[in-house]
């Protein structure tokens, strides 16, 4: 099945099968759509009193930078997809350690504060990195180590492996919590849950963990660990009109932008709300509002369907994976992308609280874009490694 002959085999390439073309096409389609939407959201505004200064460092960002990020992401995706998972496995401990280090550095003076959260590392003036995005990749790989490398004769991870996985997840999650970045923390939790589920861990344990997590959340609330603004976000979720100028502003503006798009939208580049920059962070976390307004229900639904196709293929890869390692890795990655999509779109349509997570493949942001495409690359690697080992 493999293309190369046995003699020319290098350790890390030739036993692989072909790539999943549908998965690649879905990732490409989403990235391309993202570029168009970012372009629309960042183009010069002729609206009266157009807001300036919203957004991350450097304001609105530029489509050119996003194009560069997509290009870099595609190259990395291709490189990772050519790796044998067993070779990749060797790099997991340093990658995980590096991710922890970068997350810790964010809290040091090297980090920069944007919209109240310490999430960025400034590498050079104008060049910033969001380590939490790469930490998702590292965690997906790391979780698969205890959960996917079962001892001889076992079909599911034992208590030690599960405990180790939880410890591995707790490290970055703790650092993320102190940024603070609730959205990314939730994504980490979802990834851990997905990886555990994919690993075949006993249902009783999963149920116990879910209960524990719920208990922790309630306790955090009761002990006053939830910050007032986080609480307010939850409350305006129920009724954004309660505080239209404050916490509910983003949510209300996002809903108006999306709702006014109607069935077929106002046409790409013709969104009045988009041009007026009424929705803060419209090119990053609220990019979906541009899709909703300009492409309407048809376009927004199409984007969600393409995401669905990508996730579906990811789960197929997980199911067919020859090794438990590949299955757990794919399970973690799919959970990450699925949950983050749900959280992002959910907050723009009023189904989830406003927590800052980007829409995978679509939102503006170099780190997020590269991380998303790396995730697709990991799925491809799992896919190809799996095929090659199949008889």
Binding site for other proteins (CB under 8 A): 47-52, 194, 197-198, 200, 244-246, 249, 253, 255-263, 272-273, 276-278, 280, 292, 296-297, 300-301, 304-305, 307-308, 311-312, 315, 318-319, 321, 324, 327, 330-331, 334-335, 338, 341-342, 345-346, 349-351
Nearer to other proteins, 89 or 255 (CB): 255
Nearer to other proteins, 12 or 249 (CB): 249
Nearer to other proteins, 24 or 335 (CB): 335
Nearer to other proteins, 12 or 297 (CB): 297
Nearer to other proteins, 171 or 183 (CB): 183
Evaluated on CA atoms 214, 218, 221, 223, the torsion sign reads negative
State the minimum distance, in angstroms, from the CB of residue 280 to other proteins. 7
3-state secondary structure of 24: helix
DSSP letters along 112-179, please? EEETTEEEEEEEETTEEE-HHHHHHHHHHHHHHHHHHSPPTT-SS--HHHHHHHHHHHHHHHHHHHTT
Number of continuous H segments (helices) and E segments (strands) in the chain: 15, 3
State the minimum distance, in angstroms, from the CB of residue 248 to other proteins. 9
State the minimum distance, in angstroms, from the CB of residue 192 to other proteins. 14
State the minimum distance, in angstroms, from the CB of residue 345 to other proteins. 5
Beta carbons of 188 and 333 less than 8 angstroms apart: no
d(CA 277, CA 58): 16
State the minimum distance, in angstroms, from the CB of residue 54 to other proteins. 8
State the minimum distance, in angstroms, from the CB of residue 186 to other proteins. 14
3-state secondary structure of 270: coil
State the minimum distance, in angstroms, from the CB of residue 99 to other proteins. 25
Nearer to other proteins, 129 or 376 (CB): 376
Which residues share a beta bridge with 124? 127
**Which tokens sit at 337?**
């992308």
Nearer to other proteins, 48 or 224 (CB): 48
- CB neighbour class for 305 (10 Å; exposed up to 12, middle 13-18, buried from 19): exposed
| CA-closest candidate to residue 255, choices 268, 267, 266, 239 | 239
């Amino acid at each position: 099945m493999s293309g190369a002959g046995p003699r020319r085999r290098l350790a890390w390439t030739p036993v692989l099968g072909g790539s999943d073309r549908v998965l690649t096409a879905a990732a490409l389609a989403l990235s391309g759509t993202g570029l168009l939407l970012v372009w629309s959201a960042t183009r010069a505004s002729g609206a009266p009193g157009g807001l300036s200064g919203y957004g991350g460092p450097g304001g609105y960002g530029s489509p050119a930078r996003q194009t560069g990020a997509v290009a870099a992401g595609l190259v990395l995706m291709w490189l990772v997809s050519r790796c044998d998972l067993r070779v990749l496995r060797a790099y997991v401990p340093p990658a995980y350690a590096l991710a922890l280090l970068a997350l810790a550095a964010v809290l040091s003076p090297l980090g920069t504060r944007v919209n109240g959260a310490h999430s960025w590392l400034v590498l050079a003036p104008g060049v910033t990195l969001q380590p939490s995005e790469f930490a998702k990749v590292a965690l997906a790989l790391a979780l698969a180590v205890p959960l996917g490398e079962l001892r001889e004769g076992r079909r599911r991870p034992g208590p030690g492996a599960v405990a180790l996985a939880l410890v591995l997840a707790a490290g970055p999650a703790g650092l993320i919590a102190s940024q603070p970045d609730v959205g990314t923390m939730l994504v980490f939790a979802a990834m851990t849950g997905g990886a555990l589920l994919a690993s075949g861990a006993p249902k009783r344990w999963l149920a116990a963990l879910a209960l524990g997590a719920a208990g922790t959340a309630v306790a955090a609330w009761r002990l006053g660990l939830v910050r007032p603004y986080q609480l307010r976000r939850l409350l305006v979720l129920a009724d954004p009109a309660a505080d239209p100028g404050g916490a509910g502003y983003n949510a209300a503006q996002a809903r108006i932008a999306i709702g006014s798009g109607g069935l077929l939208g106002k046409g790409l580049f013709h969104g009045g709300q988009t041009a007026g920059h009424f929705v803060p962070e419209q090119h990053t976390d609220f990019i979906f509002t541009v899709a909703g307004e300009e492409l309407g229900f048809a376009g927004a639904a199409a984007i969600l369907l393409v995401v669905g196709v990508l996730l579906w293929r990811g789960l197929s890869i997980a199911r067919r994976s020859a090794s438990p390692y590949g299955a757990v890795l794919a399970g973690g990655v799919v959970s990450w992308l699925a949950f983050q999509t749900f959280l992002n779109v959910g907050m723009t349509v009023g189904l989830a609280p406003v927590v800052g997570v980007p829409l995978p493949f679509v939102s503006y942001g170099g780190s997020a874009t590269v991380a998303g495409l790396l995730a697709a690359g990991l799925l491809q690697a799992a896919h190809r490694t799996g095929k090659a080992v199949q008889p």
